[in-house]
Amino acid sequence: MKIGVNIDSGVVNRIKTGVKGLDNMVGGGIPEGSQILFLGSPGAGKTLLSLEILYHNAKLEIPSTFITNEERKGALVNNIKNAFYSFDDYEDYISSNMIQISHRPLIDAFKSRENFEKFISDCVSDIQTNKSKLVIFDSISSLRPIMEDDRTFTRAITYMTEALRDIGVTSILTYEVNQNVSNSDPLSIGLYSTSMFDGIMVLSMNRSEGATQYSIEVTKLRNSAHKLSSLPYQITDSGFDVLSN
């Protein structure tokens, strides 16, 4: 088994994902306070995986916030119900705000620096009001077309991750890429650098001869050992299942 060399010599507090096979892949869970990028092609399951992680943490009474600039709460609830039949109490956790869904449209958010800072401030307010420990932002790829250029986009994402880091939450930010986009080149996703992220997980989906194959790779994870090889995963009605080789 290949293991990453970036290992903290001290004790690392972690957020368990609860996803079959994923915690083992990342050394027992995501280090607390990390800002993680989920990078993947359309249909790879970035949003569903994020929602499943929130569900498992809600069962542990860890409050979370899901910030969406695309789908509304009703659509997200329907998606999770249709995908994961066994999560029949998911809506109960939303109703109790153990999982808070915050819809933040982007219509006016990026007309100026002041508007952008207000957008981030409102997101932080949602998180702190709910006392959330875990945050999902779905998705940052929808922000790029609004930005003037890649440099502005990089500064904006850095500002966002620093704001989340300052309040001590563990965050997952999703980014949708086309199948032919390089996962190793930050410029391929409109960023001059990915140094603002503590971890990057790449979700891939390939269709061949009528069959769909999924794989996940952890390309970076600070303060944690992690498997370097890409592993296949399945999306079942009881959740994701990352398979060991």
Secondary structure letter of residue 244 according to DSSP: P
19 part of a folded domain = no
Look at residue 121 in the predicted model and tell me its pLDDT: 96
210 part of a folded domain = no
Contact, 161 vs 123, CB < 8 A?
Answer: no
Contact, 36 vs 171, CB < 8 A?
Answer: yes
CA of 45: how far to CAs of 63, 107, 214, 221, in Å? Answer: 22, 26, 9, 20
What is the DSSP code string of 10-62?
A: S---EE----BTHHHHTTSSEETT-EEEEEE-TTS-HHHHHHHHHHHHHHTT-
230 part of a folded domain = no
232 part of a folded domain = no
CA of 66: how far to CAs of 70, 119, 189, in Å? Answer: 11, 15, 22
Residue for token digits 């449209």? 105
Number of structural domains (the chain) is 1
Look at residue 4 in the predicted model and tell me its pLDDT: 39
Look at residue 228 in the predicted model and tell me its pLDDT: 86
Three-state SS at 196: coil
Question: In order along the chain (245 residues), what is the average pLDDT of each group of 10 residues?
Answer: 42 95 96 96 94 98 95 89 92 96 79 87 97 96 87 94 98 86 62 93 88 93 91 96 88
Q: Give which of 144, 151, 207 is closest to 174, Cα–Cα.
A: 144
Look at residue 208 in the predicted model and tell me its pLDDT: 81
Look at residue 5 in the predicted model and tell me its pLDDT: 37
124 part of a folded domain = yes
CATH of the domain at 121: 3.40.50.300
Three-state SS at 185: coil
Look at residue 114 in the predicted model and tell me its pLDDT: 87
Domain range for 92: 30-205
10 part of a folded domain = no
213 part of a folded domain = no
42 part of a folded domain = yes
Paired sense of beta strands 211-221 and 199-208, if any: antiparallel
Look at residue 107 in the predicted model and tell me its pLDDT: 67
The type of residue at 149 is D
Look at residue 196 in the predicted model and tell me its pLDDT: 96
In sequence order, the 6+-apart residues with CB closer than 8 A to the CB of 155 are none
- How much is the pTM? 0.91
Paired sense of beta strands 170-176 and 134-138, if any: parallel
